[in-house]
Structure 1
Amino acid sequence: MKGRHLGGGGRKDAHSNTRGAKTFRRGRALAFLEKLELRQATLKKQLETPELQAINPILIGELKATETIMDEFVHLFELHESGDAENSEQEASSKTQNELENN
Protein backbone atom coordinates (compact mmCIF):
# COMPACT_ATOMS: atom_id res chain seq x y z
CA MET A 1 0.00 0.00 0.00
CA LYS A 2 2.96 2.27 -0.46
CA GLY A 3 2.01 5.70 -1.74
CA ARG A 4 -1.72 5.35 -1.08
CA HIS A 5 -3.59 7.76 1.11
CA LEU A 6 -5.69 5.99 3.69
CA GLY A 7 -7.81 9.05 4.49
CA GLY A 8 -8.87 10.56 7.76
CA GLY A 9 -5.40 11.72 8.72
CA GLY A 10 -5.64 15.25 7.42
CA ARG A 11 -8.80 16.54 9.05
CA LYS A 12 -10.51 15.99 12.33
CA ASP A 13 -13.95 16.67 10.96
CA ALA A 14 -15.15 17.16 7.41
CA HIS A 15 -16.85 20.44 8.35
CA SER A 16 -14.31 21.80 10.82
CA ASN A 17 -12.49 23.99 8.26
CA THR A 18 -15.51 25.04 6.23
CA ARG A 19 -15.73 28.51 7.74
CA GLY A 20 -11.99 29.05 7.60
CA ALA A 21 -11.77 28.11 3.94
CA LYS A 22 -14.74 30.29 3.08
CA THR A 23 -13.22 33.22 4.95
CA PHE A 24 -9.88 32.64 3.20
CA ARG A 25 -11.51 32.61 -0.24
CA ARG A 26 -13.46 35.76 0.60
CA GLY A 27 -10.24 37.45 1.65
CA ARG A 28 -8.60 36.55 -1.64
CA ALA A 29 -11.64 37.82 -3.54
CA LEU A 30 -11.47 41.12 -1.65
CA ALA A 31 -7.75 41.40 -2.40
CA PHE A 32 -8.43 40.89 -6.12
CA LEU A 33 -11.19 43.50 -5.99
CA GLU A 34 -8.71 45.94 -4.43
CA LYS A 35 -6.36 45.32 -7.38
CA LEU A 36 -9.21 46.11 -9.77
CA GLU A 37 -10.00 49.30 -7.85
CA LEU A 38 -6.34 50.33 -8.09
CA ARG A 39 -6.40 49.69 -11.84
CA GLN A 40 -9.57 51.78 -12.09
CA ALA A 41 -7.97 54.68 -10.22
CA THR A 42 -4.86 54.47 -12.40
CA LEU A 43 -6.92 54.58 -15.59
CA LYS A 44 -8.85 57.61 -14.32
CA LYS A 45 -5.56 59.42 -13.61
CA GLN A 46 -4.28 58.52 -17.06
CA LEU A 47 -7.42 60.02 -18.62
CA GLU A 48 -6.53 63.34 -17.00
CA THR A 49 -2.92 63.24 -18.17
CA PRO A 50 -2.35 65.63 -21.11
CA GLU A 51 0.40 63.44 -22.60
CA LEU A 52 -2.05 60.54 -22.98
CA GLN A 53 -4.87 62.43 -24.75
CA ALA A 54 -4.06 60.63 -28.00
CA ILE A 55 -5.02 57.27 -26.48
CA ASN A 56 -8.07 58.55 -24.58
CA PRO A 57 -10.51 56.24 -26.43
CA ILE A 58 -8.42 53.22 -25.47
CA LEU A 59 -8.23 54.31 -21.84
CA ILE A 60 -12.00 54.89 -21.75
CA GLY A 61 -12.56 51.39 -23.14
CA GLU A 62 -10.22 49.85 -20.58
CA LEU A 63 -11.91 51.80 -17.78
CA LYS A 64 -15.37 50.64 -18.84
CA ALA A 65 -14.16 47.04 -19.12
CA THR A 66 -12.54 47.21 -15.67
CA GLU A 67 -15.71 48.63 -14.13
CA THR A 68 -17.81 45.91 -15.77
CA ILE A 69 -15.48 43.22 -14.42
CA MET A 70 -15.66 44.80 -10.96
CA ASP A 71 -19.47 44.87 -11.02
CA GLU A 72 -19.69 41.25 -12.17
CA PHE A 73 -17.09 40.15 -9.62
CA VAL A 74 -18.91 41.87 -6.74
CA HIS A 75 -22.19 40.28 -7.83
CA LEU A 76 -20.73 36.81 -8.43
CA PHE A 77 -18.90 36.59 -5.10
CA GLU A 78 -21.62 38.46 -3.21
CA LEU A 79 -19.21 41.17 -2.16
CA HIS A 80 -20.85 44.41 -1.18
CA GLU A 81 -19.59 47.88 -0.49
CA SER A 82 -16.11 47.72 1.04
CA GLY A 83 -17.34 48.89 4.46
CA ASP A 84 -19.99 46.17 4.57
CA ALA A 85 -17.51 43.54 3.41
CA GLU A 86 -14.96 44.55 6.04
CA ASN A 87 -17.60 44.46 8.77
CA SER A 88 -18.80 41.04 7.63
CA GLU A 89 -15.21 39.81 7.53
CA GLN A 90 -14.51 41.10 11.04
CA GLU A 91 -17.71 39.53 12.37
CA ALA A 92 -16.85 36.18 10.78
CA SER A 93 -13.29 36.31 12.16
CA SER A 94 -14.41 37.16 15.69
CA LYS A 95 -17.12 34.49 15.56
CA THR A 96 -14.58 31.87 14.46
CA GLN A 97 -12.14 33.02 17.16
CA ASN A 98 -14.87 32.74 19.82
CA GLU A 99 -15.73 29.23 18.65
CA LEU A 100 -12.07 28.20 18.88
CA GLU A 101 -11.73 29.64 22.37
CA ASN A 102 -14.86 27.83 23.57
CA ASN A 103 -13.61 24.44 22.33
Structure 2
Amino acid sequence: MVGREFDPTGFDTFTGLVSRCLRFSSAAVGSYEVRILEDSHSADGPQRFRYSITATIGGEPDAARTDYYSYARTSGLILSGTASTGHQQLFDALFDSTLRRISNR
Protein backbone atom coordinates (compact mmCIF):
# COMPACT_ATOMS: atom_id res chain seq x y z
CA MET A 1 0.00 0.00 0.00
CA VAL A 2 1.21 3.51 -0.75
CA GLY A 3 -0.09 6.49 1.18
CA ARG A 4 0.72 10.17 1.62
CA GLU A 5 2.64 11.10 4.77
CA PHE A 6 0.69 13.83 6.57
CA ASP A 7 2.58 13.78 9.90
CA PRO A 8 6.38 13.85 9.45
CA THR A 9 6.90 12.60 13.02
CA GLY A 10 4.53 9.64 12.66
CA PHE A 11 6.95 7.24 10.95
CA ASP A 12 9.71 7.75 13.54
CA THR A 13 7.19 7.46 16.38
CA PHE A 14 5.90 4.18 14.93
CA THR A 15 9.39 2.66 14.49
CA GLY A 16 10.29 3.70 18.05
CA LEU A 17 7.19 2.04 19.51
CA VAL A 18 7.78 -1.23 17.64
CA SER A 19 11.46 -1.27 18.63
CA ARG A 20 10.61 -0.93 22.33
CA CYS A 21 8.12 -3.82 22.35
CA LEU A 22 10.17 -6.89 21.39
CA ARG A 23 8.19 -9.46 23.42
CA PHE A 24 4.62 -9.59 24.63
CA SER A 25 2.03 -12.21 25.48
CA SER A 26 -1.69 -12.76 25.43
CA ALA A 27 -3.54 -15.09 27.78
CA ALA A 28 -5.88 -16.07 24.95
CA VAL A 29 -3.25 -16.81 22.29
CA GLY A 30 0.30 -17.24 23.55
CA SER A 31 3.51 -15.31 23.13
CA TYR A 32 4.84 -12.97 20.48
CA GLU A 33 8.43 -12.14 19.59
CA VAL A 34 9.33 -9.12 17.46
CA ARG A 35 12.59 -9.15 15.48
CA ILE A 36 13.83 -5.95 13.83
CA LEU A 37 15.21 -6.94 10.41
CA GLU A 38 16.15 -3.46 9.18
CA ASP A 39 16.02 0.09 10.49
CA SER A 40 17.90 2.29 8.03
CA HIS A 41 18.03 6.07 7.74
CA SER A 42 19.66 7.08 4.47
CA ALA A 43 20.51 10.76 4.00
CA ASP A 44 19.86 10.60 0.25
CA GLY A 45 17.42 7.70 -0.04
CA PRO A 46 14.34 6.16 1.54
CA GLN A 47 14.05 5.39 5.23
CA ARG A 48 13.28 1.67 5.69
CA PHE A 49 11.89 -0.33 8.58
CA ARG A 50 11.35 -4.09 8.43
CA TYR A 51 10.42 -6.48 11.21
CA SER A 52 8.87 -9.88 11.84
CA ILE A 53 6.48 -11.09 14.51
CA THR A 54 6.53 -14.76 15.51
CA ALA A 55 3.43 -15.89 17.38
CA THR A 56 3.68 -19.12 19.37
CA ILE A 57 0.28 -20.53 20.21
CA GLY A 58 -0.03 -21.92 23.72
CA GLY A 59 3.72 -22.44 24.13
CA GLU A 60 3.95 -25.05 21.37
CA PRO A 61 6.84 -24.33 18.95
CA ASP A 62 5.11 -26.32 16.18
CA ALA A 63 2.18 -23.93 16.38
CA ALA A 64 4.33 -20.89 15.56
CA ARG A 65 3.59 -18.47 12.73
CA THR A 66 5.81 -15.66 11.48
CA ASP A 67 4.51 -12.57 9.71
CA TYR A 68 6.78 -10.03 7.99
CA TYR A 69 6.19 -6.28 7.82
CA SER A 70 8.00 -3.71 5.67
CA TYR A 71 7.69 0.07 5.65
CA ALA A 72 9.54 2.75 3.74
CA ARG A 73 9.32 6.53 3.68
CA THR A 74 10.40 8.54 0.65
CA SER A 75 9.32 11.76 -1.05
CA GLY A 76 6.42 12.33 1.35
CA LEU A 77 5.03 8.84 0.75
CA ILE A 78 4.80 5.77 2.99
CA LEU A 79 5.01 2.33 1.38
CA SER A 80 3.85 -0.61 3.51
CA GLY A 81 3.32 -4.31 3.03
CA THR A 82 3.03 -7.66 4.83
CA ALA A 83 3.77 -11.31 4.10
CA SER A 84 3.29 -14.57 5.97
CA THR A 85 5.55 -17.56 6.61
CA GLY A 86 7.06 -18.92 3.41
CA HIS A 87 6.57 -15.77 1.35
CA GLN A 88 9.30 -13.48 2.71
CA GLN A 89 11.71 -13.68 -0.26
CA LEU A 90 9.04 -12.98 -2.88
CA PHE A 91 7.62 -10.19 -0.73
CA ASP A 92 11.05 -8.58 -0.22
CA ALA A 93 11.74 -8.63 -3.99
CA LEU A 94 8.34 -7.07 -4.79
CA PHE A 95 8.69 -4.45 -2.05
CA ASP A 96 12.23 -3.50 -3.18
CA SER A 97 11.12 -3.22 -6.81
CA THR A 98 8.14 -1.04 -5.89
CA LEU A 99 10.27 1.19 -3.66
CA ARG A 100 12.85 1.61 -6.44
CA ARG A 101 10.15 2.65 -8.92
CA ILE A 102 8.72 5.19 -6.46
CA SER A 103 12.18 6.58 -5.61
CA ASN A 104 13.15 6.96 -9.29
CA ARG A 105 10.12 9.12 -10.15
Do both proteins adopt the same fold according to a TM-score greater than 0.5, normalized to the shorter chain? no
More helix by share: 1
Q: Which has the higher contact order (CA 8 A, sep 6+)?
A: 1
Q: TM-score, normalised by structure 1?
A: 0.32
The structure that has the greater radius of gyration is 1
TM-score norm. by structure 2 comes to 0.31
Larger strand proportion, structure 1 or 2? Answer: 2
